[in-house]
Chain A
Amino acid sequence: MRVAHNEFLSLCRKVFEGKGLSLGDYEDCAEAIVWLEMHGMDGVAELQTLLDCSPKGESGPPRFEDTTLAVLEASDWSRVCGGLAVDLAYTKALHQGMAMVELVGSPAPRLVIRSLLDCARRGMNALAHWRDKDLRQHLVTVEAGGAYPAYQLLAASEPGSGMAGASPVTIVCSRGITLEASTTTPVLMRLAPEDFAERYRRALVEGIEVDEILWQRLVELSRNVLVESTEESRRRGAGYGGF
């Protein structure tokens, strides 16, 4: 079924609010997923991953931190979307010129892309890299002030390269120095900022396709934020409406 951006965003917010996420976190998760979907990056797949996800760790200090580097565990909902990790890299880069944060254990690494754009909006260049479970590498860069990123999907690493399994998400922020990436690894897919712009425009015009069964599941989950109606609440809660 075809849905609009705002209604998908509104529903995702309620779904994550219903899962117990706090105000900033359910906003971020929903924004990140819908951004991906509006830009053809399969936000729905990340959404389905998160629906089955129950990070139970506690927020706490980074596993490691110095002035230019930090390692964060994606241990609870506040870190899953990568916003905090990007914010941390941004803040360090503001003072040091360049900084890196590794986000370990993120179940849905693509969600970090939305946060990179916040970074760009604040005037910082940013980059994110990760390796998925199929050993393909994902590379996202965004220029300071840019509204859209550039993205490359690189072929899986050679067997015997020593790389195994999914990697942490590596986030780099840089002030005044544009981050670009060249590679000898075959590029499976390349998207320029203008490609993302065009995808967004098309999604606004045509809407987003969401599987109807999934939509119903989301609607059901969103009901966790609703309160059962009684005759009394119907009569009193919103003001008498009949005449």
Chain B
Amino acid sequence: MTILRKPGLQASTLQETAETAQALPLRSPDQVSTLERLGSLHQTRISFVRSIMRKMMAEGWRISRERFDIDDQGYGTVIYRIDTPGERYSQVIFSHYLDPAERSDRVIAQKWDVACALCEGEVSAERLEELRANIPRQEAGRNRASDIVLSRANKSVRNFDYLVDMLAQGRQPDPAVLARVGYLLRTTAVYGNGKFGIADYARVRHSRAFALPFSAQMFAVYLLRHFSIELVEHLARVRSPTTAVPLNDAIRRYIGTGNATGLGMAPFLVNHPRLLDRWVRARETAIARVLYRGRASRPLLTRLLALVDRARIYLQETQTEDKRQFLEYQRTLEELESFRTQVNGELGNFAGEAAPGEVWRRLSQWAQDHGSLETQELINSLLMELYPELVDELEGQMAADEDLDLAPAMPLDDLRTLIEQHYHWALSIDFDCPQQQYLFWYRSADKEEPRLGIRGQEPGADKEFKLTTVARTVQELYRTLQSLPQTERAQPTVTFLLRYPQYRGIVRRIQSLRGYEYGEVRTNLLHRDTLPIHLLRAKLSFFGASKFDPKSDRWVRISLFQGAPLVSDIGQDWEDDWLFPVMPTRQERG
């Protein structure tokens, strides 16, 4: 065998296209990527529910009922057919009787009111039986690569019964009921990306309909909302064929799909740092574009006032029994009142022209100086609403190449500098203090449900979830680097890893996050005071969740698509303006 040598192609270095936004001053990761600020985020117009809704409306997706075999009790099978440009999908939904005693939102539940799958193409009779045998079993079933999303949901029984009751009597429900709990069905898991045999995202991302991360999952949730509305109307008709009425459109739009999320979602942000960076960076870029390119005008200031008013009503209508969250909402309500005064002042003083961003920067500075994190980020969401032309295209930047790659030739001095620049927050933690390692994250044998334990008091710390120990591991690595003799500090990384292979993973992570500086949650997740709910809220805000209602420090209920256009609205004129949904007025209800 002979190895031939010949001049070849120039070695190419793969580089991502430079962000035009690098000309804009973005807030620093030190400010943005703290757990507390991430846990204060709200939905924005580039949240995933907004993106998929814009896509549906722009492309005129056709959603039709192919089968609606629901009996008089509300149980049976439904198939929705979805036609998008060049593609066809089906969402298959199974509705079953569930003993109330077995109804649970936990990932360890075994049965649910509703189970569904979003599938490519049409569903044959044979395929339907295969789905029927597997979908209701969820994690215990097996699925095909043509199944894109697997999900299940439970009823909000109180809302469900109330709406059926009212509609059967020929009356519309009081929207205040939906203000308290804004949905009829509440998902407890929405699986994508290869779980239990369904399609990998690597495949789905090549589709036209669902190329963006989580767009397929959001769509499946959207159709569950549609199904829940059709279900209550069906049951009302069954109960009282002569008097039952359908929901009016304003109330239909005010119904979302709920979601109950616990620690199962918490490790996601730590497991996907490059993706998190892209999400946060898109949001920060949007904010920066408004603050540095958006020219204020009287109509925009007036619109901002209207959005502030809507946000205040939304917060007043959002109910939670969680004391911490309640106080946050109350504080934001007060601060929004003051902010409104500021906006009014700007409107009163507005001379007809302003330099790009000038007015918004003043208002943003006011929010930083006078507002809580929750208030600041809510105001950022409002500002983003003012400029769809500057913001919406950033939804296309929410995907990421998630492959982490080692830079084996990097001199150790450079590695140390990287750590000092981007992980100084980890270096400053005193891990000898018991509070700093009070908690440990682990996976339970109960359906691998992630849980939190107290170190030294509960078993399992030896099986600690390694990715939750980033701060501690970085510090250990740094100390090891610091302990090297001067003569070894210019060595390449690979030489160090030959001797200390246990650091390969963390070194790769640190090196791979150059250019992805928003991707590390800058907190010690082992600290006693860690609120896991912040991790959940951060991710859910990017989904587009509203009505955050923590049930503890480690699980939350939210609503998705509340206020969104209906299936019947697709193809009609519409306004992409459903941030912070509020109760429809009597006039809107007709």
Q: Which residues of A are interface residues toward B (Cβ below 8 A)? A: 1-10, 17, 22-25, 27-28, 59-62, 72, 76, 78-79, 83-84, 87-88, 90-91, 94-95, 118, 121-125, 127, 129, 137, 139, 143-145, 154, 172, 175-185, 204-207, 223-229, 232-234, 237-243
A145 x B9 contact (CB < 8 A): yes
How many residues of chain B get a CB closer than 8 Å to chain A's CBs?
Answer: 80
Q: Hey, which chain B residues are within 8 Å of A180, CB to CB? A: 3-4, 6
**Cα distance, A6 to B192, chains bound together (Å):** 10
Binds A, one of B27-35, B90-98, B237-245, B438-446: B438-446
**Cα distance, A63 to B336, chains bound together (Å):** 68
Given contacts A5-B202, A25-B501, contact A241 B262 (CB under 8 A): yes
A121 x B14 contact (CB < 8 A): yes
**Cα distance, A62 to B443, chains bound together (Å):** 37
B463 x A123 contact (CB < 8 A): no
B262 x A239 contact (CB < 8 A): yes
B1 x A228 contact (CB < 8 A): no
Q: Which one of B403, B445, B473, B501 lies within 8 Å of A227 (CB-CB)?
A: B445
* B69 CB–A CB distance under 8 Å: no
Q: Which residue of A lies closest to B466 (CB)?
A: A23
A227 x B499 contact (CB < 8 A): no
Q: Which of A4, A25, A95 has the most CB of B within 10 A?
A: A4
A9 → chain B closest CB, angstroms: 8
Q: Which one of A24, A124, A224 lies within 8 Å of B505 (CB-CB)?
A: A24
B466 x A181 contact (CB < 8 A): no
Q: Hey, which chain A residues are within 8 Å of B408, CB to CB? A: 87-88, 90-91
Q: Which one of B198, B467, B500, B554 lies within 8 Å of A238 (CB-CB)?
A: B554
B452 x A237 contact (CB < 8 A): yes
* B479 CB–A CB distance under 8 Å: no
Given contacts A27-B505, A207-B145, contact A145 B12 (CB under 8 A): yes
A178 x B498 contact (CB < 8 A): no
Q: Hey, which chain B residues are within 8 Å of A205, CB to CB? A: 145, 203
A sample of 28 inter-chain contacts (CB < 8 A) reads: A6-B200, A17-B466, A24-B506, A25-B505, A76-B501, A78-B501, A84-B497, A84-B501, A87-B497, A122-B13, A129-B1, A137-B1, A144-B9, A177-B6, A178-B7, A178-B9, A206-B145, A207-B145, A223-B445, A224-B463, A225-B443, A227-B445, A229-B446, A234-B446, A238-B264, A238-B451, A239-B551, A242-B105
Binds A, one of B50-58, B339-347, B453-461: B453-461
Q: Hey, which chain A residues are within 8 Å of B452, CB to CB? A: 237-238
Main secondary structure, interface of A, reads mixed
**Cα distance, A8 to B202, chains bound together (Å):** 14
Q: Which one of A7, A137, A144 lies within 8 Å of B11 (CB-CB)?
A: A144
Q: Which one of A61, A76, A239 lies within 8 Å of B553 (CB-CB)?
A: A239
Q: Hey, which chain B residues are within 8 Å of A172, CB to CB? A: 3
A2 x B197 contact (CB < 8 A): yes
A118 x B406 contact (CB < 8 A): yes
Q: Which one of B200, B453, B473, B502 lies within 8 Å of A233 (CB-CB)?
A: B453
Q: Hey, which chain B residues are within 8 Å of A137, CB to CB? A: 1
Q: Which residue of A lies closest to B407 (CB)?
A: A122
Q: Hey, which chain B residues are within 8 Å of A224, CB to CB? A: 463
A2 x B494 contact (CB < 8 A): no
* B355 CB–A CB distance under 8 Å: no
A59 x B8 contact (CB < 8 A): no
Q: Which residue of A lies closest to B450 (CB)?
A: A238
**Cα distance, A4 to B9, chains bound together (Å):** 35
Q: Which residues of B are interface residues toward A (Cβ below 8 A)? A: 1-14, 104-108, 142, 144-145, 193-203, 260, 262-264, 403, 405-409, 442-446, 448-453, 458-460, 463, 466-467, 473, 492, 494, 497-508, 551-555
A183 x B7 contact (CB < 8 A): no
Q: Hey, which chain A residues are within 8 Å of B8, CB to CB? A: 125, 143-144, 176-178
A2 x B145 contact (CB < 8 A): yes
A91 x B492 contact (CB < 8 A): yes
**Cα distance, A240 to B552, chains bound together (Å):** 7
B450 x A1 contact (CB < 8 A): no
A4 → chain B closest CB, angstroms: 3
Q: Hey, which chain B residues are within 8 Å of A241, CB to CB? A: 104-106, 260, 262, 551, 555
**Cα distance, A225 to B465, chains bound together (Å):** 9
Q: Hey, which chain B residues are within 8 Å of A62, CB to CB? A: 498
Q: Hey, which chain A residues are within 8 Å of B11, CB to CB? A: 123-125, 144-145, 175-176
Q: Which residue of B lies closest to A227 (CB)?
A: B460
Given contacts A226-B445, A233-B453, contact A59 B501 (CB under 8 A): yes
Q: Hey, which chain A residues are within 8 Å of B13, CB to CB? A: 122-123
B199 → chain A closest CB, angstroms: 7
Given contacts A144-B8, A239-B553, contact A183 B2 (CB under 8 A): yes
Q: Hey, which chain A residues are within 8 Å of B497, CB to CB? A: 78, 84, 87
Q: Which residue of A lies closest to B447 (CB)?
A: A229
B494 x A177 contact (CB < 8 A): no
**Cα distance, A181 to B13, chains bound together (Å):** 24
**Cα distance, A24 to B107, chains bound together (Å):** 28
B445 x A238 contact (CB < 8 A): no
Q: Which one of B12, B145, B499 lies within 8 Å of A123 (CB-CB)?
A: B12
B194 → chain A closest CB, angstroms: 3
B540 → chain A closest CB, angstroms: 15
